[in-house]
Structure 1
Amino acid sequence: MRTVRKALRVLRWYARELTGEAEYDRYCERHRRRDPRTPVPTRRQYEALRTLHREQHPQSRCC
């Protein structure tokens, strides 16, 4: 039973890393540490900020 739980935990970790959900959680933790008085942006606000940042700071792309 412990092996099954461990496998499910690893699978959940992998899925969260793959979808970017863990990245948002890490961002929220950093945000709370830096300024706990300001509200944390919602997931939608975070994605909009992230998209805006990518557009303003383009990296080389293959296509």
Structure 2
Amino acid sequence: MADLTRRVWRAIVWYLREVSGEARYDRYVEHLRAEHPGRAPMSVREFNDARDEYERLHPTGCCC
């Protein structure tokens, strides 16, 4: 029962991180380490600012 509870909890945490966008930074760091090993990653704040700026400059076309 404890194992099932742990697996369910991990699934909930994974889902919430994906929906909230928090996991994007982790994927960015993984990509950077794999593809550009000598490069230092941006801080979380820098990453979020850059992502916000990109989304501002490249709107999805949604009217809302």
Q: Same fold (TM over 0.5)?
A: yes
Give 1:1-63 correspondences, 5 Å limit: 1-63=2-64
What residue ranges of structure 1 are gaps of 5+ in the alignment? Answer: none
Q: TM-score, normalised by structure 1?
A: 0.87
What residue ranges of structure 2 are gaps of 5+ in the alignment? Answer: none
Q: TM-score, normalised by structure 2?
A: 0.86
* CA deviations over 1:4-56 (Å, ceiling 9, x no partner): 11111111111111221111111111111121111110110001111111122
Q: Matched residues in 2 for 1:49 and 1:34: separation? A: 19
CA RMSD of aligned residues (A): 1.1
Q: Percent identity of the aligned residues?
A: 35
- Number of matched residues? 63
